């Protein structure tokens, strides 16, 4: 099983879903395009394998979208994905250990019967008044 890619009508990637069952056959497998503002990779390392220590130097970047990652811990979460015209594209259900990155378009969430616990990671600084538009 591979990652699920959700595209708008223009072929732009709206979101990428990495289900808990996805397993990499490579040392590092990226599920996002190298040019995306937000990256998703699955790493598989052998026992005692070392990732050489490193740091990421300051780089000026232009970020156009507030991308997010949702990491499910418990329960189920229904996610609606929308294109830039606010038209619903698909509904997906996230379960424990699923990871969803939201790159473009809109989205809405609804916790299901069992409730849900999830981690949200997004770019900052974040200004709710400027960085979120409800529809």
> Mean pLDDT over all residues of the chain?
91
Confidence at residue 54, expressed as pLDDT on a 0 to 100 scale: 96
Compute the average pLDDT of residues 37-48: 88
Confidence at residue 7, expressed as pLDDT on a 0 to 100 scale: 94
The architecture in CATH of the region 4-54+62-131 reads: Sandwich (2.60)
User: Percent of the chain at pLDDT above 90?
Assistant: 65
pLDDT digits (tens, 9 = 90+) for 4-37: 999 999 999 999 999 987 776 668 888 877 888 8
pTM exceeds 0.85 for this model: yes
Count other C-beta atoms under 10 Å from residue 102's C-beta: 22
Phi, psi (rounded to 5 degrees) for 128: -55, -35
């Amino acid at each position: 099983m591979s990652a699920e890619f959700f595209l708008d009508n223009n072929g732009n990637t709206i979101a990428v879903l990495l289900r808990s069952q996805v397993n990499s056959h490579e040392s590092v497998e990226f599920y996002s395009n190298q040019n995306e503002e937000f990256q998703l990779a699955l790493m598989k390392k052998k026992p005692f394998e070392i990732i050489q220590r490193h740091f990421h130097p300051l780089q000026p970047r232009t970020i156009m979208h507030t991308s997010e990652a949702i990491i499910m811990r418990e329960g189920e979460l229904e996610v609606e994905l929308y294109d830039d015209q606010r038209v619903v594209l698909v509904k997906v259900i996230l379960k424990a250990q699923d990871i969803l990155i939201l790159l473009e378009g809109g989205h809405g969430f609804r916790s299901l019967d069992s409730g849900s616990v999830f981690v949200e990671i997004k770019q900052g600084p974040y200004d709710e008044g400027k960085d979120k538009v409800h529809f």
